[in-house]
């Protein structure tokens, strides 16, 4: 039975995302490298995020020859004794509509997100599953390969944001840019500002990569079925 869930429950499971502002580039990178016509076969497959066991959110990537999609699964536990009376009444009203509250129940299924809730005494178990979202499509975008790594260019207005993909056997590293990269590029290019918009020369790009550019890393492992 599907019921309307309170905003209170949904907010609790909003996945935490990196707040760092990504660097943008004036032209696709690496500059002067040809575009790939498809995503190399060795990168294709399903990859699940590796966490430290403390994370409440897990990402899954599905990579085909033309697309990269991402879905997120989040979990949380709430103690009813720790919430305010008004919020407790909202949660109790949701539980009252469930025939079997001790089992996982879908309480929200819209806008690409499925929320399930399960009650166990004073504890509420929450799970949010986001349906796959396309983060890269070969059509209209650019994917380039350099030194056995992929650089995925996606448009941001008239500029470009990048992801750096590195594959080591069955382990995939997705690297993004942020504040530390902006500082590094600004220093490298002799700029006093950090406007997060750059067009490095080939030597500057090479140095940026060598010094660990794309410092925000998510690790994935290939799913074997």
Which pLDDT does position 20 carry in this prediction? 59
pLDDT at 175: 94
The conformation of residue 19, written as its DSSP 8-state character, comes to: -
pLDDT tens-digit map of 147-179: 999 999 999 889 999 999 999 999 999 999 998
Q: What angle do CA 126, 132, 133 make, to 5 degrees?
A: 115
pTM over 0.85: no
Per-residue pLDDT band for 11 (boundaries 50, 70, 90) equals: very low
Angle between helical axes of 179-188 and 202-210 (0-180°, round to 10): 130
Rounded CA separation 117/109 (Å): 12
């Amino acid at each position: 039975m599907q019921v309307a869930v309170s905003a209170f429950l949904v907010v609790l499971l909003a996945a935490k995302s990196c707040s760092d502002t990504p660097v943008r580039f004036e032209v696709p990178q690496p500059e002067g490298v040809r575009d790939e016509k498809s995503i190399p076969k060795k990168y294709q497959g399903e990859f699940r995020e590796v966490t430290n066991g403390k994370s409440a959110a897990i990402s899954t990537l599905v990579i085909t020859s033309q697309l990269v999609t991402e879905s997120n699964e989040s979990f949380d536990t709430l103690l009813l004794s720790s919430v305010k009376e008004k919020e407790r009444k909202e949660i109790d009203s949701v539980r009252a509509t469930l025939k079997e509250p001790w089992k996982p129940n879908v309480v929200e299924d819209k806008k690409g997100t499925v929320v399930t809730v399960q009650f166990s005494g004073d504890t509420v178990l929450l799970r949010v599953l986001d349906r796959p979202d396309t983060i890269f499509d070969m059509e209209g975008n650019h994917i380039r390969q350099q030194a056995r790594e992929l650089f995925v260019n996606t448009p941001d207005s008239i500029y470009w944001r990048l992801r750096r993909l590195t594959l080591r056997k069955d382990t995939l590293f997705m690297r993004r840019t942020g504040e530390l990269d902006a500082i590094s590029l600004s220093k490298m290019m002799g700029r006093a500002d950090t406007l997060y918009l750059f067009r490095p020369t080939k030597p500057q790009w090479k140095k940026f990569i060598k010094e660990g550019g794309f410092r925000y890393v998510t690790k994935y492992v290939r799913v074997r079925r």
